[in-house]
């Protein structure tokens, strides 16, 4: 590697011969792991329904949102920015860098769970 | 705080008291996303593949699909009738069509912490860091914020795209990622009004906008598909390429 400092931990099954292969890394002190800033849960109810996740980071962070199936409780789907299918989606407003919006056009006791990361995305 | 391990990105002074956590590469006080299980499924028929995960709780997950005959991977979302993925306390369920390939990662973090039962991990050697208050000698799986036994979501590279769209149809922008394999990714998009987790899809009775990301062993492609009502428009993408291999 061009820089000879830092800490690298390889995943089980890899050897020092693989040290320059990113696929082998469990950890490399030069590259960020996804770090959870906040996590929690909420419920969407209404038409339209909106819940605000406050993270206070001051920028638009990466996030993962999981939605519990209303018909089949205990089943969880990953939500994205798909606003077209009547499924909850995640939206960030450019003028509001401290909150994430979870929205559904119609929801009745729709539970969701989220992870917000420190890692920054579009701002 | 006077104990723990913190590492920062190159060029960032880790001992600076004003350092922002987004500029850290690791902080033992924080939960990090790691996975214990990854695999890929090639569909020999259309329908559901059920994968038992044996965790006792529904884990956070992500999945990407390479559809039949395609060389590019895209994010799996709830695309009912085409492909989708979901989990419960017992299984991961993947839907696809004949010839599709889905790569999935099951993370150690539970989606709903309230469902976690006591599940103690075992292991003889390596490095482990647990969340404050947990016992590192006997942690529950979801209390581990780093273990050298697990794979990690590590951001290797970030690529930005801006696409000016002047007419209806599909417009793409391509950048070489130089990684030599098809990397996992998480992307965000901007439709000119708001930021969304990729893919972004808007549709009403007459119009549609789709912003999505495709990855193969050489390139990252940002793709905009719009109808005429929405042009001209400017779309932005930020793609975080992770170290894990989709193939």
What is residue B115's predicted lDDT score, i.e. its pLDDT? 73
Whether A78 sits inside 8 A of B148 (CB atoms) is no
pLDDT tens-digit profile of B36-48?
899 999 999 999 9
Q: Which residue has the higher pLDDT, B86 or B138?
A: B86
Residues of chain A contacting residue B154, judged by C-beta atoms under 8 Å apart: 22, 25, 27-28, 31-34
pLDDT tens-digit profile of A11-69?
988 999 999 999 999 999 999 999 999 999 999 998 889 999 999 999 999 999 999 99
- Does the pLDDT value for residue B74 go beyond 90? yes
CA distance B8 to chain A (A): 7
What is residue B122's predicted lDDT score, i.e. its pLDDT? 56
Residues of chain A contacting residue B93, judged by C-beta atoms under 8 Å apart: 75
Whether A115 sits inside 8 A of B33 (CB atoms) is yes
pLDDT tens-digit profile of B161-201?
999 988 889 999 999 999 999 999 999 999 888 999 999 99
| Residue given tokens 């559809």 in the structure block | B67
What is residue A106's predicted lDDT score, i.e. its pLDDT? 84
Average pLDDT, chain A: 91
Query: How far is Cα B148 from Cα B129, in angstroms, rounded to an integer?
Result: 9
3 state DSSP class of B135:
coil
Q: What is the mean pLDDT of residues B215-242?
A: 92
User: Tokens in use for B117?
Assistant: 């039962």
What is residue B51's predicted lDDT score, i.e. its pLDDT? 97
Buried/exposed code over B118-151 (b: 16+ C-beta within 10 A; e: otherwise):
eeebeeeeeebbbbeeeeeeebbbbbbbbbbbbb
Residues of chain A contacting residue B244, judged by C-beta atoms under 8 Å apart: 23
CA distance A54 to chain B (A): 16
User: Which one of B26, B87, B200 has the shortest CB-CB distance to A81?
Assistant: B200
Q: For the beta carbon of residue B80, count every other beta carbon within 10 angstroms.
A: 10
Q: For the beta carbon of residue B51, count every other beta carbon within 10 angstroms.
A: 17
What is residue A87's predicted lDDT score, i.e. its pLDDT? 87
Whether A83 sits inside 8 A of B190 (CB atoms) is no
Q: Which of B35, B74, B77, B91 is the best substitution to test chain A (most A C-beta atoms within 10 A)?
A: B77
pLDDT tens-digit profile of A62-107?
999 999 999 999 999 999 998 888 889 999 988 899 999 999 988 8
- Does the pLDDT value for residue B77 go beyond 70? yes
CA distance B168 to chain A (A): 19
Residues of chain B contacting residue A66, judged by C-beta atoms under 8 Å apart: 60, 111
Query: How far is Cα B21 from Cα B26, in angstroms, rounded to an integer?
Result: 9
Q: What is the 3-state secondary structure (H, E, C) of A2-69?
A: CCCCCCEEECCCCCHHHCCCHHHEEEECCCCECEEEEEEEEEEEECCEEEEEECCCCCCEEEEEEEEC
Look at A97-106, B15-24, B92-101, B113-122 and tell me which has the smallest mean pLDDT. Answer: B113-122
Q: What residues contact B141, with CB distance under 8 A and at least 6 apart?
A: B36, B55, B108, B119, B121
Whether A7 sits inside 8 A of B7 (CB atoms) is yes
User: Which one of B27, B78, B148 has the shortest CB-CB distance to A26?
Assistant: B148
Q: What is the 3-state secondary structure (H, E, C) of B20-49?
A: CHHHEEEECCCCECEEEEEEEEECCCCEEE
Whether B188 sits inside 8 A of A32 (CB atoms) is no
Structure confidence at residue B134 as a pLDDT band (50, 70, 90)? confident
Question: Among residues 1-40 of chain A, which lie with CB inside 8 Å of chain B?
Answer: 3, 6-7, 9, 11-12, 22-23, 25-37, 39
């Amino acid at each position: 590697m061009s820089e000879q400092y830092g800490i690298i931990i390889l995943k089980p099954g890899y050897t020092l011969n693989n040290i320059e292969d990113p696929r082998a890394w469990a950890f490399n002190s030069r590259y960020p792991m996804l770090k959870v800033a906040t996590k929690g849960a909420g419920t969407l109810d209404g038409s339209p329904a909106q819940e605000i996740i406050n993270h206070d980071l001051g920028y638009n962070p990466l996030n993962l949102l999981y939605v519990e199936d209303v018909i089949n409780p205990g089943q969880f789907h990953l939500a994205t920015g798909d606003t077209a299918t009547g499924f909850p989606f995640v939206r960030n407003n450019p003028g509001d860098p401290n909150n994430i919006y979870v929205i559904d056009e119609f929801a009745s006791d729709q539970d969701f769970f989220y992870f917000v990361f420190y890692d920054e995305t579009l701002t | 705080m006077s104990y723990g391990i913190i590492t920062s990105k190159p060029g960032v002074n880790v001992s600076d008291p004003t350092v922002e956590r987004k500029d850290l590469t690791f902080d033992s006080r924080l939960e990090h996303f790691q996975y214990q299980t990854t695999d890929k499924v090639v569909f020999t028929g259309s329908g559901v593949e059920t994968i038992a995960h044996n965790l006792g709780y529904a884990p956070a997950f992500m999945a990407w699909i390479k559809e039949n005959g395609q060389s590019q991977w895209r994010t799996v979302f709830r695309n009912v009738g085409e492909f989708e993925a979901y989990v419960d306390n017992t299984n991961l369920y993947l839907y696809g069509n004949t010839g599709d390939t889905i790569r999935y990662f099951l993370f150690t973090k539970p989606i709903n912490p309230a469902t976690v039962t006591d599940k103690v991990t075992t292991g003889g050697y390596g490095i482990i860091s647990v969340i404050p208050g947990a016992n590192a000698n006997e942690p529950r799986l979801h209390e581990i914020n780093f273990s050298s036994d697990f794979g990690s979501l590590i951001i290797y590279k970030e690529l930005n795209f801006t696409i000016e769209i002047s007419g209806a149809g599909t417009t793409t922008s391509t950048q070489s990622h130089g990684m030599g394999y098809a990397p996992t990714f998480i992307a965000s998009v901007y439709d000119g009004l708001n930021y969304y987790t990729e893919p972004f899809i808007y549709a009403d009775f007459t119009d549609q906008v789709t912003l999505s990301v495709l990855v193969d062993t050489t390139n990252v492609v940002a793709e905009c598909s719009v109808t005429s009502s929405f042009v001209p428009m400017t779309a932005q993408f930020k793609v975080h390429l992770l170290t894990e291999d989709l193939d």
